[in-house]
A and B are shown apart, each in its own frame.
Chain A
Amino acid sequence: MAAVFVADANLNLASVKISVFSWVFGFNGLCVVYQFTQQNLPACKPILSPAWVVEVVYRYDVECVPVLYRSNKLAYIKDNSIPKNCSKSLKIPKHMKAPIYIYYQLDNYYQNHRRYVKSRSDQQLLHGLQHHDISSCAPEDFSHGLPVVPCGLVAWSLFNDTYSFFRGIDEMKVDRKNIAWKSDRDHKFGKQVYPFNFQNGTLSGGAHLDPNIPLSDQEDLIVWMRTSALPTFRKLYGRIEEDLDADDIIKVKLLNNYNTYSFSGSKKLVLSTSSWLGGHNNFLGMAYISIGTSFIFVAFVFMLIHVKNPR
């Protein structure tokens, strides 16, 4: 059988190509002998289709401010009496396969600022009140004589916009568990530490926490406490565990609580699928192409120089 195969390869260059590049399955011995002329060698050619990552980015921080307050967004966000409900629709451009990750993206938010970054106490997050030295947390360190748990600016400024998603009238299930790193949950945030006096001060920076849930289960907090490296960042909010089809209209009901208006930061909601390479990222491609082009250009210049003034 193999001899036949080789003969075939010798006879026809095109089939050689196929035999090299295609995945040849086992030869079916029952085939009729006309294969030389028929060119019906069983083969399959895999088509490499890029595993598309579909991403929907929706900026809502301006649109969710009522027209009335557009000129003074700060007054709107600071006024607790105004309801912060906001309902928007999203169109899904392409089929999205579950799991679909929900992120919130903040811009111009310097979570990497040194004084912000160090305003926390990792020991307190793990040991709670047993740990006393929380000097690094100032000014968000004590309330009514007791250490704030969790203390510090990072925790205090916990993000508190919430999202819920509807397809038609059905609310979609959003999985908000397992969004934080397992190691953080197990080893960095105490299982016995409860945020009993969090956000009790006069100035509330962000979300409140359920005092009955230990820090190790406060996954939003855990995600938030892993401060971002750059001033534009995304943080995981949850996962949608069902596929979304192309041209689906998704209705997002959100509570626009978080104040990014005081520093003119933007807020975006991101729905994204993921591949083994991670999420959607233009940077590497752009970097490769731009550096590659510039090198070609430099090489050309040097070649000209060399031709003109050989050493």
Chain B
Amino acid sequence: MSGPTGRRKQKLKWSKLYTFSCLRPTTDESAPTESSWAAGIFRVVFCNESQLHKSKPHKYPNNYVSTTKYNLITFLPRALFEQFRRVANLYFLLAAVLSVTPLAAFNPVSVIAPLVFVVGLSMLKEAIEDWHRFLQDRNVNSRRVKVHVGNGLFVQKSWKSLGGRHCQTVGSALYTKSGNSKMWYLRLHDDTDNLFDPEDPMSSGFLQFVRALVLYGYLIPISLYVSIELVKVLQAMLINKDLAIKCSIEGISYGGEVTEVDLAASRRMNIDVERYRYSLDGSDSTGRSIEMFDLSTADGSTEKDVLGFHQGSEDTKTGNSRISSSQKETTVKGFNFRDNRLMDKMWIYRSNVSDMIMFRVMALCHTGIPVEENRGNKLTYEAESPEEVAFLIAAQEFGFKFCQRTQSTMVLQELDPSGLEVKREYKLLNLLEFNSSRKRMSVIISNEDGEIFLLCKGADELADNGRTYQQATVMHLSMYAEDGLRTMVFAYKKIGLPEYENWSSVFKKAKATIGPEREELLENASEMIEKELLLLGAVAVEDKLQKGVPECIDKLAQAGLKIWLLTGDKKETAVNIGFACSLLRHDMKQLHLCLRKESPSNQQIKDVKEEILCQLQSYNQLITEEDREGDPFALVVDGKALEVSLSYDVRNHFLSVAMRCDVVICCRVSPKQKALITRTVKEHSGKTVLAIGDGANDVGMIQEADIGVGISGMEGMQAVMASDFSLPQFRFLERLLIVHGHWCYKRISKMILYFVYKNIAFGLTLFYYNIFTGFSGQDLYDDWYMVMFNVLLTSLPVISLGVLEQDVSSDVCLKFPALYQEGQRTFASAGSESSVGFLMESWLP
């Protein structure tokens, strides 16, 4: 075990080396880890008693948002500090200091001027970026919000004047990134030429050394940083342009706004595109757009109280209709279901009440709200999950339009079996929220007649309540699950008033409790009422992958990326999606990491850890044993196991197994865990991590990763705002990485080599010349020529190489994704190339 860890440490050090910075601030890296993940930070907030916040213990900073890094006073010292944290700049500072002493090899101006130029340019860039951030902040801070001042009165105030949380989001860790390069160590002649004092060879030798240090400073390219930064900006422009063109060709709107965000952010780190190895996938990054709506309901049941699947020919027809429907043109987004028996009000002729109740459940059992009508009389909805939206839209299509929600009522516009549209108001009595152990949510409503119903939707287990139709439903469910559809079962029951009142008191009590046992009480209460449900039917939702996702993932896998899928879905679904997007293949050995026991309480934590460790160890062994056969491994981790695996002492074992697998799928991952996984993988492997996702729940992960990519999809702009790159669709990742990543890597590495080459070629002439001057340290060129050499005279060829070089065309890149791996074996190849180059050039001039 010590072997691999030792190597890993070394790797980490290497990665530190090529980021070029010494004096890395330690606070940025480690501080937030524990404090923010633990639930340690809390605040006491008094509602409607704002005067309490004016005195000390509860006085919090105001709501002013500041993402800027500097202010007017701190700019100079902080920016200078940032600049001189770079080893090379420090070195040139030293040279500049030495140049004003009598030891100087050159005219002091010729040493100081380029340094000032280079540092000044970098600082100017920082200043401009910070200025943009400031403008953005000002926009946010001057946003008008309504503030409640008491008694229902609202006052317009600007955001910044609010008391509340103060966030300083910019960590300077983000800014310590810089291009990779090599350090050149100077070999200095230990010349004992009695230059300074023949009596004292020691000190004169030292002075010689110092002189030579200054003289051969030209071996280190001073303007490398500036050039790299410039090249990065230009590359980002090119990438954006290219992606934008690609998008416009394929008719996808690529908003100007997005491009802008994209540009600003990518300036920081597009260089890193080429170096990452692990890619974390946000669950939704695979492009969840639920377009297919799949529904099977009971039909013609004889028993009134049991509803379920009708067996026989009709179900296969339903299946057929599903398949054929996907090919049909659909006008309603999010709904792709065609079945003549149900559509266009046809269901009313089927003399089946269960259909109606089923649609009603669909329209009522959710947490969504309708949003403004935007076309015709169709509504669109917003809800916690896209599934709910899909259900609502489906219900609307079937004639159950959910129109309005108030605190206690829900209004449906229903299609009566008589064919008329009726507006009905339902009282919402209780909402039993979804939780992961019950795996269902319910609403308790009473209709206009005062009848009380419990409407429930939930995971497959609910189907156990079905009686006659249970078998059929289970069969259908497994069929759907195999197809990679997300299944959902609907059920309901009628509750008598006394029963409800009994239960209601229990539930209220549970709701009123405060403390850790509240959850449990609520759960128990919910369990109490969610009994003896009647199965209505099952629904399958296709989490439709965006176009080109499987191909893209396939290419990325070929390119040697390790892909992690982090999803909130349950395990079966995740695995199915994994297959659907060709992340998982059938020749892969799946390793499942899961817990047998449910919900570990504190006493059991040790056992649980043991269990996980045990599993991990056996997997590790398995991988070691079967490594020779070359079968790839896939690790599937479920939510509970993940929680344990990420705990501090198990983490390393978990990651060492996970790193050896080609694909890792984590299910039931919370947004926080996504970020935590990203962070731990990044720290553990020392590799570059790219995270891609489209939802707000991916933001943490995107920010945590070295490169964050946001998909500007249906789920809002949060992910895009937080990202370094934004893509309109997942499949553009392929082009971004395999083409632009490859190019950028090649460009930057070639450019650095070229840069180093030209400086060495130049510096060596100085060195060779000194052979002819008795190593006295005489310089060969005019001072001003030397000043201009790096900064002006030879900068353009290098920069143009860095921006425009294409070693192979984009088609070739896409055709052979393995080319990308070249970039991953970076150091070895670049190192040998440069050393060969160094040897060549050392005798050429």
Contact = CB atoms under 8 A, between A and B. Distances in A.
A278 to B, nearest CB: 20
B468 interface: no
A231 B778 CA distance: 12
B116 interface: no
Interface string A104-118: 000000101111010
Contacts of B778: 112-114, 117
Contacts of B780: 229
A230 B777 contact: no
Interface in B758-806: 769, 772-774, 776-778, 780
Contacts of B195: 115
Contacts of B769: 229
A114 B776 contact: yes
Contacts of B776: 110, 112-115
A114 B777 contact: yes
B741 to A, nearest CB: 25
A115 B777 CA distance: 9
Interface residues on B, range: under 10
A115 B780 CA distance: 14
Interface string B172-216: 000000000000000000000001000000000000000000000
A7 B50 CA distance: 111
A150 B772 CA distance: 27
Contacts of A230: 772
B180 to A, nearest CB: 28
Contacts, number: 25
B839 to A, nearest CB: 14
Interface string A96-138: 0000000000000010111101000000000000000000000
A interface majority secondary structure: loop
B201 to A, nearest CB: 17
Contacts of B772: 112, 229-231
Nearest to A111: B773
Residue of B195, B774, B780 most packed against chain A (CB within 10 A): B774
Nearest to A117: B778
A113 B772 CA distance: 9
Interface string A48-70: 00000000000000000000000
A229 B780 CA distance: 8
Contacts of B773: 110, 112-114, 231
A74 B769 CA distance: 30
A150 B778 CA distance: 22
Nearest to B196: A115
A110 B772 CA distance: 8
A274 B778 CA distance: 31
A117 B773 CA distance: 10
Nearest to A110: B774
Interface string A283-299: 00000000000000000
A229 B773 CA distance: 8
B482 to A, nearest CB: 47
A299 to B, nearest CB: 15
A102 to B, nearest CB: 25
B483 to A, nearest CB: 47
A189 B54 CA distance: 80
Contacts of B777: 114
Nearest to A116: B776
Interface string A224-236: 0000011100000
B103 to A, nearest CB: 11
Contacts of A115: 195, 776
Contacts of A110: 773-774, 776
Contacts of A231: 772-774
A283 to B, nearest CB: 14
B693 to A, nearest CB: 41
Contacts of A112: 772-773, 776, 778
Nearest to A113: B776
A236 to B, nearest CB: 21
A17 B507 CA distance: 113
B162 to A, nearest CB: 66
A170 to B, nearest CB: 41
A89 to B, nearest CB: 34
A230 B771 CA distance: 10
Nearest to B776: A114
Interface in A28-61: none
Contacts of A117: 778
A115 B204 CA distance: 14
Nearest to B780: A229
A45 to B, nearest CB: 41
A73 B110 CA distance: 45
Residue of B195, B769, B776 most packed against chain A (CB within 10 A): B776
A190 to B, nearest CB: 23
Nearest to A227: B778
A117 B778 CA distance: 8
A115 B211 CA distance: 13
A292 B162 CA distance: 78
A112 B777 CA distance: 10
A113 B777 CA distance: 8
Nearest to A112: B773
Shortest Cβ-Cβ A-B pairs, 3 listed: A114-B776, A114-B778, A112-B773
8 contacts: A110-B773, A112-B772, A112-B773, A112-B776, A113-B774, A114-B777, A231-B772, A231-B774
Interface of A: 110, 112-115, 117, 229-231
Given A112-B778, A229-B780, 13 more contacts: A110-B774, A110-B776, A112-B772, A113-B773, A113-B774, A113-B776, A113-B778, A114-B773, A115-B776, A230-B772, A231-B772, A231-B773, A231-B774
